[in-house]
Structure 1
Amino acid sequence: MVESIGQFGPGLKPPSYHELRVPLLEKAKKETDKLKEKQEKAWKQYGCSPMSDGWTNKRGRHLIKFLVNCPEGTFFLSSVDVLSKIQDAKMLAVLFEQQINLIGRENVVQVVTDNGANFKAARGLLCRRIPTLFCTSCAAHCIDLIMEDICKLKELDATITHGRSLTTFVYRHGRLLAAMREKTQGRDIVRAGATRFATAILTLQSLHKNQDVLRKLFGNEEWFNSKLAKTVAGKKVHSFVLSTKFWSTVEDCILASIPLLQVLRVVDGDEKPAMADLCAAMYFAKDKMKLGLEKKKGF
């Protein structure tokens, strides 16, 4: 948007409140309806897969989004606020059946959901009600659950907690953050991933890459003369940043998780269908993890 404004140059008149909420909104709706018509033709021609995605927004409302995937792409169908409802299998099955009826039962090939117990049970109810239906678990969620289990291993859990403590401590204190960015040439150590556990592992990878910078940051005279060095949190962070054992376990976390992150990138992308590559990617990840950890104790 900013780039477009810059290309227009001086004298751009922004739309009024009325233009935004009436003519421009109507125009956007017409364009979306045309896009939906194109999608609906593809649903009838190829068949399609309704998908669900549950999340909680900033206001604490728990929403379930329904999307439809086909060779033409993925289309947002609707969202339902289920905060005040009991999210059991019967309720979820009813919601899915409503969406399937909107799409047309004859057009639906399979339903894709995450792997929560309630969603699994709902898939069972749907298959009994609609015998022609296939139900499939979300591959990205499966891999995320594997990563969650890896992160819970006793050898790795404490390291991930320390990594979060380190990044939180650095980003809460402006001078320390500025000093770190100066040494990393403006690079941040927190890296966002597709999921919460992917973010944790990518951040550990970034910490490992910048460990020399962090050791110098917490080991120089400026740090020891600062007020932060005398705080309980500062002493705790300082102790494991300069610990060889901490960095060794960070490396173990990376070896145990990065191959799965590569699989997650394959299945979480939307450029091409991922199922054809999933099996080979998982075998490759298992071999890579085994090779990286075979000499490590505790794995």
Structure 2
Amino acid sequence: MTYELSGPILDEEVEEVTKWVEEYKQSWPRTGITLMSDGLLNKVSKKEFLNFLAYSPKGTIFWSSKDVSRTKKDTNFYVRLYDQIVEEVGDKHVVQFITDNARACVSAGNKLMDKRKNLVWTPCAAHSIDIMLEEIGEIKIVKETLEEA
């Protein structure tokens, strides 16, 4: 069953969230923001999304979500997408951009830093740790211990 939201309650909530987001954005010129990107695969619909969040000392807000299901995810794609998000948020506010560590994302992050000198690209720490743990798990003695456990 599908439900649609409408009416005065929804209108009030949209207005409240819009005010809340605007309040957060007022601090950005002073503090700058970190943009964060995270991928999501909907296992039911088989659609793939990239979600973007904006973090500042005031807090984190959801910025946008892009359906990337039918796109070739190469360096050029990520450069265009990341650049578009930076433009939407405001180039002068973005001091850091955190993305996945996939090869195309790393390359796109470096190209973004070349274009936007006030921005630093950073790989996702959680993804980096996951990769390290996978590699540690391949060490013979660790692998044998894990298999026995």
The normalised TM-score by structure 2 is: 0.88
SS in 2 for 1:84: coil
Q: Which residue, out of 111, 129, 132, partners 2:118?
A: 132
1:117 aligns with 2:103: yes
Flag the 1:22–1:151 CA change in 2: closer, same or farther, 3 A.
farther
Q: Which residue, out of 33, 50, 64, partners 1:78?
A: 64
Q: Which residue, out of 11, 27, 31, partners 1:46?
A: 31
Aligned position for 2:7: 22
AA paired with 1:33? T
AA paired with 1:48? I
Within 5 A, what are the aligned runs for 1:26-175? 26-58=11-43, 59-157=45-143, 160=146
Instruction: Note the residue ranges of structure 1 that are not aligned, 5 or more in a row.
Output: 1-16, 163-245, 251-299
AA paired with 2:25? E
- 1:60-114 deviations in whole A, cap 9, x for unaligned? 1111101111101111000111110011111111111111111111111111112
**Structure richer in strand, relative to its length:** 2
TM superposition shift of 1:24: 2.1
AA paired with 1:152? E
The normalised TM-score by structure 1 is: 0.46
**Structure richer in helix, relative to its length:** 1
Please tell me whether Structure 1 or Structure 2 has the larger radius of gyration of its CA atoms.
1
AA paired with 1:23? P
C-alpha RMSD of matched pairs (Å): 1.8
- Percent of counterpart pairs with the same letter? 34
AA paired with 1:70? S
Instruction: Note the residue ranges of structure 2 that are not aligned, 5 or more in a row.
Output: none
